[in-house]
Amino acid sequence: MEEIDDFLNQALQSGLLIYDKSMPAQYAFVTDTSRNIAAWTTRRAGKTTGLAHRFLRTLLRHPNCFCPYIALTRDSARNIMWQILQTEANRFGIAADFTESNLTMTLKNGSRLQLFGADMKNFLPRLKGIKTPGAAIDEAQDFRSHIESLINDVLTPATLDYEDGWIAVTGTPGPILKGFFYDITEGGKGGFSRHQWTLYDNPYLPNPKKFVDDLMTEKGWDEDHPTYVREYLGKWKYDPQALLVQYIKENNNYNSLPIANWTYLLGIDLGFNDADALAVLAWSPSQPATYLVEEVITEKQGLTELVQQIQKLNETYKFAKMVIDEGGLGKKLAEEMRRQHKVPVHPADKARKMESIAFLNDALRTKRFFAKANSRFAQDSYLVQIDKDKTTPDKIVVKDSFHSDIIDATLYAFKESPAFSYEKAIAKPVYGSKEWMDSEVKRMEEEAYERALKEAEEAKGLNQWY
C-alpha cells in the first residue's frame, strides 16, 4: 500500500495526474504533447481550467522554471485565470504561494507562473530572452496582428530549451473571418494541433441545453443567429453588425491622399493605464471624405512627452483645431497644456457618443471615411464588439474585453470635420444657353407665385378691418 501511495504521490508531483477524465475533450487538450496547440471553445466549456491543468503539469515537471500566461489586458488575465489557478492547485493538493502584486504563482519546487496583459508597460521586452517549458495566449480572437510576431519571434525561441516545450493559443470564435487565430483554427496555418469543444461537453453545468434553449427563445434567435453560433456552438460566424465600428478594407482603405487643399484636425485621447492616442484627420471643402492620415499611440508617458508629440505634429500639419478628452483628470491636464505649454486644445464633444459612432459608420458605409488597412484604427475596428447581452434598443453597450484609444481619438476629431455634410456643388448653366433661359423662367415664375401669395395674405388681413 505504501508503495502505491508513493507511486501516486510521485505521479502527482510530476504532473501526470493533473487532468479531468470526465471531460474527454478537455483531457485531450491538456495531455496533447504537440509543441503548438490551438483551442477554440464556447463560453463555460472549461477551456481556462484546461489551461490551468496544462500549466500545473508543466510547473511540477520542471523545477525552477518560468511560464507566462498572456491575456489581452492585465485585468482580464487576472479575472480569467487567477481564481481558477488557486482552485485547481487546492483541488490537487499542490502547495503554492500566490502573489497578488505581480500576479505570480510560485510552487514549492521554485517554478513560477506569471499572468501578463498585452497592455502592460514593456510587455514584449519583459518576455524577450526568457526560456520557458510552456506559454499560453488566451483571448486570442481579440489580439491585433502582432500576435503572430509574439508567437514566432518571442515565445517559440523561448521554448527551445525544453524538449517538451509548448505554446497554447486559445479563445472563442470572433465575428470577423480573418486574423491569425482564425487562420490557425479554421485554416490550419502553422501546423497547430487543434482542439474544439463546447459547453455541452462540460459535465459540471446543470442542463446547459435547457439554458441555451431558453436563451434563444428569450432573445428570438434562430439556429443561424451569429451570437448563438459563435458563443454556444463554438463556430466562426461572420457578423459585421457585432462590431462597434464597421471599417471594411475593400471600401475604406486608401494608399495616398488625393490632391486637394487639406485642413487638419487632431483628436487626443488621454490615458495612463491605457495609452495616449493622437489621431490626425484631414478634410477639404472640395472632397466628400475625411481621411485618417497619422496615428501616434504611446503607453504610460508623462505630460511633457505628450506635449512634445503634439507640438511636433503641429509643426507638420498646422492644425485648424485640436480636441482632447477632458474626462476625469483630463480637464486638469488640458488646462495645464493650455496655460503652461501654450497648446490650444479644445474639449472634445463626448455627448451622444453612440450617435457619433452612427455618423462614423454611415461615413464608412458610404465611403466618406478612409484609413489605411495597416493602421491601428483599422485593426481595432475588428476587435471592439457590441455586448449584445447587455445592449438594449435605446442603449448600446460595448464589451469590456477590449478598448481602443485610437478609435476614441479618431471619433473626437471626426466630430469636428464638416466632411460628413459634404454636398457636391451643382454646376450652373452657361449664361445665355437654353438651360440658363429655362432656369430663369422657372425662377421668375416661382418669384411671381410667391408675390401673389403674399399679396393675397395682405388683402385678407385688410378685409378683416371692414
pTM of the model: 0.73
Looking at the domain assignment, is residue 243 inside a domain? no
Residues 255 and 337 in one domain: yes
CA distance 247 to 367: 10
Residues 289 and 195 in one domain: no
CA distance 276 to 301: 8
Residues 381 and 460 in one domain: no
Residues 43 and 93 in one domain: yes
Predicted confidence at residue 1, as pLDDT, reads 42
Looking at the domain assignment, is residue 240 inside a domain? no
Domain that holds residue 348: 249-421
SS (H, E, C) 127-154: HCCCCCCEEEECCHHHCCCCHHHHHHHH
Which grid coordinates are listed for 66?
518560468
Are the CB atoms for 40 and 170 separated by under 8 Å?
Answer: yes
- Alpha helix stretches (DSSP H) within 220-254: 226-233, 249-252
Q: Which residue, of 202, 233, 264, is where some domain finishes? A: 233
Are the CB atoms for 420 and 446 separated by under 8 Å?
Answer: no
Number of folded domains that form the chain: 3
Residues 81 and 140 in one domain: yes
Residues 94 and 129 in one domain: yes
CA distance 141 to 128: 23
Q: Which residue, of 233, 266, 290, is where some domain finishes? A: 233
Predicted confidence at residue 184, as pLDDT, reads 95
pLDDT in tens, the chain (466 residues): 454 445 445 655 666 689 999 999 999 999 999 999 999 999 999 999 999 999 999 999 999 999 999 998 899 999 999 999 999 999 999 999 999 999 999 999 999 999 999 877 777 788 888 999 999 999 999 887 789 989 999 999 999 999 999 999 999 998 888 889 999 999 888 899 999 999 999 999 999 999 999 999 998 999 999 989 999 999 999 888 889 999 999 999 999 999 999 999 999 998 756 689 999 999 998 888 999 999 999 987 888 999 999 999 999 999 999 999 888 778 888 999 999 999 999 998 877 778 888 889 999 999 999 999 999 999 999 888 888 777 777 777 887 777 889 999 999 999 988 765 555 556 677 777 888 788 878 888 888 877 877 777 766 655 554 4
Predicted confidence at residue 7, as pLDDT, reads 45
Residues 282 and 305 in one domain: yes
Looking at the domain assignment, is residue 244 inside a domain? no
Q: Is 44 left (phi over 0), alpha (psi -120 to 50) or beta?
A: left
Residues 255 and 388 in one domain: yes
Residues 289 and 384 in one domain: yes
Residues 21 and 41 in one domain: yes
Q: Is 437 helix (H, G, I), strand (E, B) or coil?
A: helix
CA distance 242 to 246: 9
Residues 298 and 276 in one domain: yes
